[in-house]
Amino acid sequence: MKLRLTIMSMLFCSLLAACGLKHPGPEMTRDGVSFTFYAPQAKSVAIAGSFNAWNMHKDSLSGPDQKGLWSIVIPLHEGRYEYLFVINGKDWQPDPSVPGVDDGFGGKNSVLLIGEEHSPQ
């Protein structure tokens, strides 16, 4: 079964691109899901989520590029994933390009749905 981002996730990405915003959002690639985060002044950016047991040391993003974007591609299977970006090892930030859900601690986690059986929230 071919993996794909849900229609809702793709709609958010399209809207952000049309507005010229700096957070393009997660995109499906041949190698996995490409995550980007705009933080031109950051010394480090990592991603932590349900796909890596919320380990802020496992998946470091490369960057920043000339536009200030940090990026990583993570191979993910179909499913529902919550995640946050970790800036400079201490500042946990949701992805501004995707919808968030209550994390149970007064904050928000970003949500990514991959696969055909997942319907938009």
Nearest to 82 by CA among 117, 111, 43, 42: 111
User: Residue 15 falls within a domain, yes or no?
Assistant: yes
**pLDDT band per the 50, 70, 90 thresholds, residue 34:** very high
Q: Which long-range contacts (CB under 8 A, 24 or more apart) does 24-29 make?
A: 24/69, 24/97, 25/95, 25/97, 25/98, 26/95, 26/97, 26/98, 26/112, 28/3, 28/4, 28/114, 29/73
pLDDT, residue 3, reads 39
pLDDT, residue 32, reads 96
Domain that holds residue 109: 7-114
Residues 63-72: what's their mean pLDDT? 96
| pLDDT higher than 80, residue 36 | yes
Q: Which of 38-52, 77-91, 95-109 has the lowest mean pLDDT?
A: 95-109
**pLDDT band per the 50, 70, 90 thresholds, residue 1:** very low
User: Residue 93 falls within a domain, yes or no?
Assistant: yes
User: Residue 120 falls within a domain, yes or no?
Assistant: no
- CATH number of the domain within which 12 lies: 2.60.40.10
Burial letters for 39-67: b for 16+ Cβ neighbours within 10 Å, e otherwise? beebeebbbbbebbeeebeebebebbeee
pLDDT, residue 115, reads 87
User: Residue 119 falls within a domain, yes or no?
Assistant: no
Q: How many folded domains does the chain comprise? A: 1
User: Residue 89 falls within a domain, yes or no?
Assistant: yes
User: Residue 101 falls within a domain, yes or no?
Assistant: yes
